[in-house]
Amino acid sequence: MIHRCIFGGFKEQRVLLALQIFSLIVTSTLTVYPQQQAKSILHEIKTGGNRIIQIDGKYRVWTKRVGSGNIKVLTLHGGPGFTHEYLECFEDFLPKEGVEFYYYDQLGCGNSDQPDDTTLWTIDRYREEVEQVRAALGLEHFYLYGQSWGGMLAIEYALKYQQHLKGLIISDMTAGMTAYTAYASELRKQLPPDIIAVLDKYEAKQQYDAPEYQDAMMKSMYAEHVCRVNPWPEPVERAFRHFNTKIYNIMQGPNEFVITGNFKNWERWDDLHSISVPTLLIGARYDEMNPEDIKREGTLIPHSRVAICANGSHLCMWDDQETYFKHLVTFLKDVEKGKF
């Protein structure tokens, strides 16, 4: 009995000693190498290209890398207030050409934070947001793509930060709101008289959300000049469902015909000559942006090329898809080869 107790005591002491030694080793390791271990763990986690970036010191915006290659493109979606979703057709055309591109939902949009602060929705703040996103992603000597409102934002970025750019793509965007509203007025006059009567009726009352008004806009404007594919592709429908109209109303106004927002006086025609990087300007025959304005931009930006999609509208990446991406991919490769 005594012998068994002594033996058991020695056994317990050895176990306790072993546990103490192990604890010291673990504690010492974590104390000496905590940062290295955390970094190693983070590097092992795969996120499917998704990444959250902090901007302005407190907000979080969503980005996603698609594909892998030396040609890197950051995309700026339209709106203001839209999401990256309607650009998802890019996945079928760019990665196979060796293009690595980045989705990015601007603040207030899609997967990014949506703060309830109306002072955030300005051109200048969004331009600085783009620069913060670029820096966080480590993009240098890259291509900036902007469509519609994103094209306006891309122009603004290029005028201040073009030292970071290798090339610029401005898709479906004129260089001033005066030209934009003039062409929108022309398109409005071409609508059937009964549609014009409906628009006049509700615009006089400022009832832009009235179902009859929205239906008239959808059938007359959007179906003809925004996306001519019928029915609309699922990513386009999804982007419209997730549309943040609060931002749109503050920055643009109720719709394409009524421009009352804070960028109503935006004009950059006189500054386009300052953009020196290779630039592709894309427009479309049925776009709500005047194709002649797109061509005019091409005469003012020194190293530029203009592509007009003969069968496309505002979302010509959908309704004139092959033409659109042929021009886009050719531009990227020509710049890479020094042929631009």
> CA-based diameter of the chain, in Å?
110
Identify the DSSP state of 75: E
Beta pairing class for 71-76 and 50-55: unpaired
Out of 287, 293, 319, 320, pick the active-site residue: 287
Residue type present at position 183: Y
CATH topology of domain 51-336: Rossmann fold (3.40.50)
**Catalytic residue at 287?**
yes
User: For the segment 77-115, what is each residue's pLDDT rounded down to a tens digit?
Assistant: 999 999 999 999 999 999 999 999 999 999 999 999 999
pTM: 0.87
**Catalytic residue at 40?**
no
Location of structure tokens 């795969």: 46
The CA dihedral of 283, 220, 195, 173, to the nearest 10 degrees, is -30
Least Cα distance to 101 among 66, 61, 151 occurs for: 66
Q: Specify the pLDDT at position 130.
A: 98
Distance of CA 318 to the CA centre of its chain: 16
C-alpha 331/C-alpha 340 separation (Å) is 8
Out of 77, 84, 225, 314, pick the active-site residue: 314
Q: Locate 215 and state its tokens.
A: 């239906």
**Catalytic residue at 124?**
no
Q: Specify the pLDDT at position 7.
A: 35
Q: What is the CA radius of gyration of the chain?
A: 27
Q: Specify the pLDDT at position 78.
A: 98
Q: What are phi and psi of 284, to 5 degrees?
A: -150, 150
Asked if residue 127 lies in contact with residue 76, where contact means CB atoms within 8 angstroms, the answer is no
Out of 77, 105, 112, 148, pick the active-site residue: 148
Least Cα distance to 305 among 323, 332, 271, 287 occurs for: 332
C-alpha 284/C-alpha 309 separation (Å) is 4
Task: Tell me which residues of the chain have a pLDDT lower than 70.
Answer: 1-43
C-alpha 209/C-alpha 254 separation (Å) is 9
Asked if residue 59 lies in contact with residue 121, where contact means CB atoms within 8 angstroms, the answer is no
Identify the DSSP state of 249: H
Q: Specify the pLDDT at position 220.
A: 86
